[in-house]
Homo-oligomer: A and B are copies of this chain.
Amino acid sequence: MQLPTLEDVARKSGVSTATVSRALNDPTRVSKKTRERVEAMVAALGYTPNFGARALASNRTNTIGAVIPTMENAIFAQGLQALQEELGEAGVTLLVATSNYDPEKEAQQVRTLLGRGVDGVALIGEARGVEIYELLERRGVPFVLMWTWRRDCPWPCVGFDNRAAARRLTERVLELGHRNIAMIAGVTHGNDRAEMRVCGVRDAIRAAGLPLEDKRIIEVEYSLDASAAAAKRLLAHDRKPTTIICGNDVLAAGAMIGIRELGLNVPNDVSVTGFDDIELSLVLDPPLTTIHVPHRRMGQSAAQLLLLLCAGEDNVTRVNFEPDLVERKSLVAINEGGRIR
């Protein structure tokens, strides 16, 4: 069966295809009478514009592409959902691709998205080969970086200062009397958020005049198993850490599993902190002290910025959110004896 075309609508409502096109895309440019006639005919025929033809003729697809590392853990889910909803209200569709934290794969996904003619692109973080940025700029396709922010970032970004937030968290840990701190970080290669979080922790420890010991920072992939193993390794150390700062909530959850398997208790034997404040942090026992990231607002804001950029606005904008430290039960003060509470 053949779908009705613009021309069918035009013929049956006694106007030209141009008028139908206008009635659909910019109703103000058409008299009320024709508009209504056309709309009625569209409904009667069940006409839907052909996406490919429209894209070909107008050179726009009303599609934004996003490349995220993974959908499998919830870190990006909320933000993406919000991005999608916000774009949806403007009639723009979101195309999501995943890179599995592999820069090469990310580049390939960006190329695929460009091949599909996306009008704009959302990327996570700043760290990637310069060729992607060049490609995007050469093609004139606007993009924004999400989940990251830096004062002098040369590109539009919507996020927060991972380094400052990690530093703030660590300062709180220090304030609670911890002097023996370890960290389970995400893999920092090609991941500036992970890297900046490590830097932030280092900043705070150094500022406190404490030594920073490289072996107390373990980098692992974002999985429960890897993090649980890392926690066990850290706690096998002769001088056990009193706090394990984790690169994100998933790592914190993994660390808590590892700690539990060692027969130790959080927070009595060791404190744990997370980062991101995904739903997970509430189901953990004890609930996780973590950095709350405003995922939804970030997604919305990124959508708006992207729409602006697509509309031709072209000054680089940066949106900086201020993540909060939410203190729950997984981090407690240390007492005089060096044991916790």
Contact = CB atoms under 8 A, between A and B. Distances in A.
A3 B135 CA distance: 12
Contacts of A71: 71, 77, 80-81, 84
Interface residues of A, number: 49
Nearest to A254: B283
Contacts of A284: 283, 285
20 contacts: A1-B138, A1-B139, A3-B139, A48-B114, A48-B115, A50-B56, A52-B56, A56-B56, A70-B81, A71-B80, A72-B74, A72-B77, A74-B74, A93-B97, A93-B116, A224-B279, A254-B283, A257-B282, A284-B285, A285-B285
Nearest to A225: B282
A254 B283 CA distance: 7
B224 A282 contact: yes
Given A74-B73, A93-B95, A139-B3, A257 B279 contact: no
A122 B48 CA distance: 20
A72 to B, nearest CB: 5
A260 B287 CA distance: 11
Contacts of A78: 72
A97 B56 CA distance: 23
A4 to B, nearest CB: 12
Contacts of A48: 111, 114-115
Interface in A97-131: 97-98, 111-112, 114-117
Interface string A75-101: 001101100100000000111111000
Contacts of A283: 224, 253-254, 256-257, 280, 283-284
Given A48-B115, A74-B74, A257-B283, 18 more contacts: A49-B115, A50-B117, A51-B52, A51-B61, A51-B115, A51-B116, A51-B117, A52-B52, A56-B56, A71-B77, A72-B74, A72-B81, A84-B97, A84-B98, A95-B95, A256-B283, A260-B285, A280-B283
Contacts of A81: 70-72, 98
Nearest to A61: B52
Contacts of A111: 48
A256 to B, nearest CB: 7
A279 B73 contact: yes
A61 B93 CA distance: 15
A140 interface: yes
Contacts of A1: 138-140
Contacts of A61: 51-52
Interface string A39-51: 0000000001111
A55 interface: yes
Interface in A50-76: 50-56, 61, 70-74
Given A73-B74, A95-B95, A284-B283, A53 B50 contact: no
A47 to B, nearest CB: 10
Contacts of A253: 283
